[in-house]
A and B are shown apart, each in its own frame.
Chain A
C-alpha cells in the first residue's frame, strides 16, 4: 500500500516537473500578451490593448482560421491513410524494404526540397493553388508520422486474436472495428494529435504551396512575414486565446461526459 502510494506520488512529481518545463515559456508568452508596452524588456502595466487590436486585425484572424482548416483536414486524411499504411505494413508476412523506405522518406526529406518540388509540379500542371494544395502537401509528412506511431503499437501485437475472431465467424470488417481498432485507438489519437500539431506550425511547405492570394495565407506565414518589422504582441494574445479556448472546450466536454456517466 505504501509502495503504491509512493509510486503514485513519484508519478505526480514527474508530471509537475515536465508540465512545468512545457508551460514555462508559455507563461512568459501569456504575461507578455498583457504587457502594456508590448516589449519583452520591461513590464509597464496590465493592459488588454493587444487583445483589442487583435480583434481588429483581420489578417491575423483570417490566417488563424485558414491554419485551422488546413490542420484539421490534413489530420483527418493523414490519420486514415497513415493508420491503414501501418496496418498494411505490419500485417505483411515479409518486410518490404522499398515500402519501409517510402514510409520514412517524408520524415527525412528536407522541407525546402519538398516545397520546391511540389510548387514546380503544381505550376507545370497548371493546378490552381490554395488551401487545398497546402493540405495535400501536409498530408505527405503527417501520414508518415501517424504511420510510425501506429506501427510502434502494432509491434508485438498478437495477430492470432484477429485470426481467432475470423475463425469465430466475424467478418473482417467487424474484426477490425471490434478487435484491432480498440487496440490501436490510443496510437491513432496520439498520431492525430502529432499530425495536427505539426501542421499548425509548418511554414516553408505551406508558403510554397499556397496560392498567390490572401485566401490561402496560414498563421505561420503571417507571423514569419512580420519578422522584418517586429512581431507584435497581438500574436502572443492570439496564442493565449487559442490555448485558453482549446483548454476550456476540452475541460467542459470532459465535465459534461462525467455528468452523463454519473447519471
Chain B
C-alpha cells in the first residue's frame, strides 16, 4: 500500500518538478504583480493594493467571460458530435490502417494556424470560393455573408481543434475490444442500447479529455475571433493579452489571469470529479 503510493509519487515526480520549476516559480513572480500598482509608464510600482481585484469584478468582464464560454462551449459540442463518429470510424478500419488515419487527421495542422485561417477567409468571404461556386451553379441572389459572425468563429475553432478531440476519443475508444459490445448484443441489447449503456460510458473519459482540450484552447484563442469573427467578439484570452501588451497594465493583467486560472481549474476539477463518479458507477455496473 505505502510502497504503491511511493511508486506512484515517484512516477509523478519528474513532471511535478518540471512544472514547479518552470511554471509555478515564474508565475508566482507575475502573480505578485497583481497586488502592486501600475507605474506611470506601465511597469510595476511597489505599492501594495487590492485595487486590481476590485476592478476584475465588473459586469463587462463577466459578460466577456460568458460570451467566451458560450462560443467555446458550442465549439466543444459540435467538435464532439463530429469527432466521436470519426474516431469510431477509425476504430472500425483495419488495425494497421488506424495509425495512418490518425496521422492524416493531424497532418493539416502541421501547416500554420495563420495561413489555415486565411484559407478559410478565401473560402468564406463574400467574393470567396464558396460564393463563386454558388454563382456558377446558378445562384444569383445576394452573396452569402458567411464570415465575421459567431458561426464563422465556431467553425474556425472546431476546425482547428477537431483532430485533438478525435485523438482523445480514439485513445479511449480503441481500448474496447469489441467483446464487451458483442456480449451486450448477445444478451439481447439493441445496437443503440448497447451504445448508450456500454460503449459511451466506457469511452466517456476520452470524450471528457477531448472536450476539455477544445474548450480550454478555444477560450484562450484570439487569432480566430480576430480574423474569422472580424474582431467583433472579445474572448477572455484576448482580454488578458491586451492588459499585458496593449494597455501595459501588468498588475491588472496578473489579477485577471489569476482569477481566470482559478475559475477554470475549479470547473475542470468539478468536471473530473463528476466524470469519475460517472465511470465509477459504470465500473460497478460492469462488475456487479
- The answer to A–B direct touch (Cβ < 8 A) is yes
Chain A residues, Cβ within 8 Å of B245: 112
CA distance A28 to B122 in the complex (A): 8
A102-B171 in contact given A22-B163, A247-B104, A247-B107 (Cβ < 8 Å): no
Instruction: Report B191-221 CB contacts with A as 1/0, cut-off 8 Å.
Output: 0000000000010011011001100100010
Is residue A239 contacting chain B, with contact meaning CB distance below 8 A? yes
- Looking at chain A's contact residues, the main secondary structure is helix
Contact assessment for A110 and B167 in the assembled complex, using a CB-CB cutoff below 8 Å: no
Closest B residue to A159 by beta carbon equals B4
Contact between chains at A243 and B167 (CB < 8 Å): no
B5 near A85: Cβ-Cβ < 8 Å = no
Query: CB-CB < 8 A to B88: which residues of A?
Result: 11, 14
Task: Please give the number of chain A residues whose Cβ is less than 8 angstroms from any Cβ of chain B in the complex.
Answer: 99
Mark each residue of chain B from 114 to 133: 1 if its CB lies under 8 Å from any CB of chain A, else 0. 11101111110001010000
Q: Return the chain B residue nearest A121 by Cβ.
A: B26
Q: Are the CB atoms of A200 and B167 closer together than 8 Å?
A: no
A93 within 8 Å of B (CB atoms): yes
**Which residue of chain A has the shortest Cβ distance to B111 in the bound complex?**
A239
A101 touches B (CB below 8 Å): yes
Q: A15 to chain B: which residues have CB within 8 Å?
A: 86, 89-90, 93, 101
For the complex formed, measure the closest distance between the CB of A217 and the CB atoms of chain B, giving whole angstroms.
14
Q: Mark A105-149, 1 if CB is under 8 A from B, else 0.
A: 111111111101110110010000000000011011001010111
Q: Which chain B residue has the least Cβ–Cβ distance from A239?
A: B111
Assembled-state Cα–Cα distance A190/B164 (Å): 9
* Residue among B7, B119, B170, B276 making CB contact with A186, cutoff 8 Å: B170
**For window 171-186 of chain B, which residues contact chain A by CB distance below 8 Å?**
171-172, 174-175
Chain B residues with Cβ below 8 Å from A231 are 114-115, 118
B113 sits at the interface (CB 8 A): yes
Chain B residues, Cβ within 8 Å of A124: 29
Question: What is the bound-complex CA distance between A109 and B260, given in angstroms?
Answer: 8
A-B contact count (CB 8 A): 293
Contact with B along A26-38 (1 / 0, CB 8 A): 1011001000000
Partner of B205, one of A26, A105, A139, A155: A155
Q: How large is the interface on B (under 10, 10 to 19, 20 to 34, 35 or more residues)?
A: 35 or more
Given A41-B127, A91-B11: A189 and B102 interface contact (C-beta under 8 Å): yes
Q: Tell me, yes or no, whether B66 is within 8 Å of chain A by CB.
A: no
Cα–Cα distance between A233 and B16 once the two chains are bound (Å)? 43
Q: Does B229 contact A (CB under 8 A)?
A: no
Say whether B112 faces chain A, with CB atoms less than 8 Å apart: yes
- Closest B residue to A136 by beta carbon equals B22
Residue B57, interface by CB 8 Å: no
B60 at the interface (CB under 8 A from A): no
Residues on B with C-beta less than 8 A from A112 are 237, 240-241, 244-245, 253, 257
A interface footprint on B146-187 (CB within 8 Å = 1, 0 otherwise): 000000000000010011101110111011000000000000
User: Given contacts A99-B12, A243-B108, are A40 and B118 in contact (CB under 8 A)?
Assistant: yes
- B56: chain A residues within 8 A (beta carbon): none
Residues of chain B with a CB closer than 8 A to A107's CB: 212-213, 216, 268
Asked if B85 is at the interface (CB within 8 A of a chain A CB), the reply is yes
At the interface, yes or no: B100 with Cβ under 8 Å from chain A?
yes
Binary flags per residue of A140-164, CB closer than 8 Å to B gives 1, else 0:
1001010111111101100000000
Residues of A within 8 A of B10 (CB): 88
Q: Does B82 contact A (CB under 8 A)?
A: yes
Interface centre among B99, B104, B120 (most CB of A within 10 A): B104
Please measure, in the bound complex, the distance between the C-alpha atom of A149 and the C-alpha atom of B167, giving whole angstroms.
Answer: 8
B15/A85 in contact, CB under 8 A: yes
The answer to the question of B139 belonging to the interface, with a C-beta cut-off of 8 Å to chain A, is no
Residue pair B89, A88 in contact (C-beta under 8 Å): no
A190/B170 contact (C-beta < 8 A), A89-B12, A112-B244 known? yes
List, in ascending order, chain A residues with CB within 8 A of B209's CB.
Answer: 148-149, 151-152
Confirm or deny: A183 has a beta carbon within 8 angstroms of a beta carbon on chain B: yes
The distance from the CB of B191 to the nearest CB of chain A, in whole angstroms, is 9
**Closest 10 A-B residue pairs measured CB to CB?**
A88-B12, A88-B11, A239-B111, A25-B119, A117-B26, A85-B15, A108-B264, A121-B26, A11-B89, A155-B205
Chosen A-B contacts, 10 in total, with CB atoms closer than 8 Å, are A11-B88, A85-B11, A85-B14, A93-B4, A95-B276, A113-B257, A152-B209, A153-B206, A194-B106, A197-B106
Residue positions of B touching A, CB distance < 8 A: 1, 4-5, 7-16, 18-19, 22-23, 25-27, 29-30, 82, 85-86, 88-90, 92-93, 99-116, 118-123, 127, 129, 159, 162-164, 166-168, 170-172, 174-175, 202, 205-206, 208-209, 212-213, 216, 220, 236-237, 240-241, 244-245, 250, 253-254, 257, 260-261, 264-265, 268-269, 272, 276, 279, 282-283
Chain A interface (Cβ < 8 Å from any Cβ of B):
7-8, 10-12, 14-15, 18-19, 21-26, 28-29, 32, 40-41, 80-82, 84-85, 87-89, 91-93, 95, 97, 99-102, 104-114, 116-118, 120-121, 124, 136-137, 139-140, 143, 145, 147-153, 155-156, 172, 183, 186-187, 189-191, 193-194, 196-197, 200-201, 203-204, 219-220, 223-224, 227, 231, 235-236, 239, 242-243, 246-247, 250, 254
